Chain A
Amino acid sequence: MLVGCDGALSIVDPAGPAARSIALLWWVMLVGGVLIFGLVMVLIALSFRKRAACEDDAGSARLWIVKLGIAFPVTVLLALLAYGLVIGEQLLPRESGETVIVRAEARQWAWNFSYDDLPGRTTQDVLHIPAGRPVDISITSTDVIHSFWVPRLAGKLDAIPGHVNTLRIEADRPGTYQGLSAEFSGSGYDRFTFQVIAHDETGWQAFLTGETE
Chain B
Amino acid sequence: MTDILRIVIAPLVWLAAFTTVYALHGLVCGHAIGGMPFGTISVPRLLLVSAYALAICAQIILLISLYARRFATQSEFVRFVSRATGWTALVATVWTLLPTVTMSHCL
Contacts and interface: CB of A to CB of B under 8 A. Distances in A.
Assess A/B contact in the complex (Cβ within 8 A): yes
Interface of A: 85, 89, 92-94
B1 interface: no
Contacts of B104: 89, 92
Contacts of B35: none
Contacts, number: 9
Interface string B68-107: 0000000000000000000000000000000100111001
Contacts of A94: 107
Interface residues of B, number: 5
A74 to B, nearest CB: 8
8 tightest A-B CB contacts, nearest first: A92-B107, A89-B104, A89-B103, A85-B103, A94-B107, A92-B104, A93-B107, A85-B99
B102 A85 contact: yes
Nearest to B99: A85
A78 B100 CA distance: 16
Contacts of A92: 104, 107
A160 to B, nearest CB: 14
A41 B95 CA distance: 29
Interface of B: 99, 102-104, 107
Nearest to B91: A74
9 contacts: A85-B99, A85-B102, A85-B103, A89-B103, A89-B104, A92-B104, A92-B107, A93-B107, A94-B107
Most buried by A among B99, B102, B104, B107: B107
A169 to B, nearest CB: 16
Given A92-B104, A93-B107, 6 more contacts: A85-B99, A85-B102, A85-B103, A89-B104, A92-B107, A94-B107
Nearest to B107: A92
A89 B104 CA distance: 8
A94 B103 CA distance: 13
B91 to A, nearest CB: 8
A93 B107 CA distance: 7
Contacts of A89: 103-104
Nearest to A77: B95
Nearest to A92: B107
A140 to B, nearest CB: 17
A186 to B, nearest CB: 30
Contacts of B102: 85
A134 to B, nearest CB: 14
A92 B105 CA distance: 11
B87 to A, nearest CB: 10
A115 to B, nearest CB: 23
A57 B107 CA distance: 50
Contacts of B107: 92-94
Contacts of B99: 85
